Amino acid sequence: MESVLIEKEAMKLPLFERALLVDRLLQTLDAEKDSSIKAWTEVTEKRLEKFRAGKMEALDGQAVIESLSTLFHGFLS
């Protein structure tokens, strides 16, 4: 509901100010994306370290997909 009010007010702004607002909003999305990528990079690096140290085993990708497909077959149909 609040976003609808914000949108209505933003639409009243002159073109240049709306463009600046769009740019600022897009920058916040990029920042969120960057932090998400950074977090996943950290997770994958830790998993790789564990795998290389023998603390985590690798699974066959195709076997995992088949297992999940069987497990969730009822949910996906």
The tens digit of pLDDT for each residue in 14-63 reads: 998 999 999 888 888 877 778 888 888 899 999 999 999 999 898 899 99
pLDDT for residue 31 = 75
Amino acid, res. 18: R
Token pair recorded at residue 14: 């002159």
Q: Rounded to whole angstroms, how far apart are CA atoms 46 and 52?
A: 10
Query: Which SS3 state, helix, strand or coil, does residue 35 take?
Result: helix
The answer to pTM > 0.75 is no
Domain tally for the chain?
1
Provide the domain limits for residue 33.
Answer: 2-76
Amino acid, res. 19: A
Of how many residues is the chain composed? Answer: 77
